[in-house]
Every structure is written in C-alpha cells, then in structure tokens.
Amino acid sequence: MAERLFEEGFISRVDRLEAQSALADAKSESVNANNDARLAMIALQRLLRTDYRIKPTTPLFVSSRPLPDVSYFQDLALNNHPGLQKVAAKRAQAQQLHALSDTGYKPTVLLYGYGQLEKTQAGSLVSLPVGSYGADWIKPRHWHQAMLKYVRQIFLRLKSATTCYCW
C-alpha cells in the first residue's frame, strides 16, 4: 500500500521506507511470537509427559474488573518505593542538622541544684542542661521535677557504690 501511495505521489520516499521498516519489524515480531508459542507448547508437553498437542478445555481466565486510576498506582509507588523513603529520611536528617546548627547562636540554659538525700552523706551539686532554645518554653515546674529526679538518681548511684565519695 505504501508503494502505491508513493507511486501516486501521496507520500515521500522517507515515509515509504519507514512503512517498509515497520512492516519488516512486525513480521519479525510475529515470527518471534510464533516461536515462543511453540516453545511454550513443547515445555507444557514435556511437563505433562505427552506426545500430542495440548488444547485447553476451558477458555483462559481474564479479569473483567476495571483497573484503578493511575493516581492510585502513583501514590502506591511514592509511598512504598525504598529509594524515595531513603530520600525522605535524608531530607529529615538534613532538616534536623539545620535546626541543630542554629543552636550555636543561642545561649545554653543550665539548671543548678544542690541536694542531700540523707544527713549523714555529703551533698551534691548537680547541673542539668535544659536546652539551647531559650527559656521561654521551659516551665519552672518542669525544671524542679527534672532536677529532683536527676539528683535522686545520682544519690542512689552513690549509695549503691562501694567507694565513698566525699566533696
């Protein structure tokens, strides 16, 4: 058909050559598909140990359910792709490093406390780093509770130790 259109002047020589090339590719793919089908039939015959050609008794199963929208598969790939999860983790890590780099410009807030668990033991001075974000978000009640817990842990460790620590 392409040759006839070329002879009548409707298509150029390049279009005719492209059509011939497409036809040759289609013939080659057809031969390959027939060969693949023959190989599959031979493999099935060997699997079933028969010499005659196998013919299916029922039609092949084809699902007639409609496929979900493409956006469903795109969302699924975005949520479950390990490479994208790694990129998201690296981004979160970079954001945390950026937030951490800002702390060098802010003052560090420390809480100091003196406590004595028993009258027979020496007291202890404890410093508790609260943060470097400024004291506007820290409530005094939290300071007190954190300091008491920290001091109690230190004294319990000293009490369980075999050596005597005196300051």
**3-state DSSP assignment of residue 109:** strand
Q: Per-residue pLDDT tens for 114-160?
A: 666 666 666 666 666 665 544 445 565 666 666 667 666 665 655 55
- What is residue 134's predicted lDDT score, i.e. its pLDDT? 45
Sequence ranges of the domains in the chain: 2-48, 102-160
Q: Which of 151, 155, 95 lies closest to 120, judged by CA?
A: 155
Q: Per-residue pLDDT tens for 72-123?
A: 998 888 888 888 788 888 888 888 877 776 666 666 666 666 666 666 666 6
What is the four-CA torsion angle of 27, 32, 37, 42, rounded to 10 degrees? 140
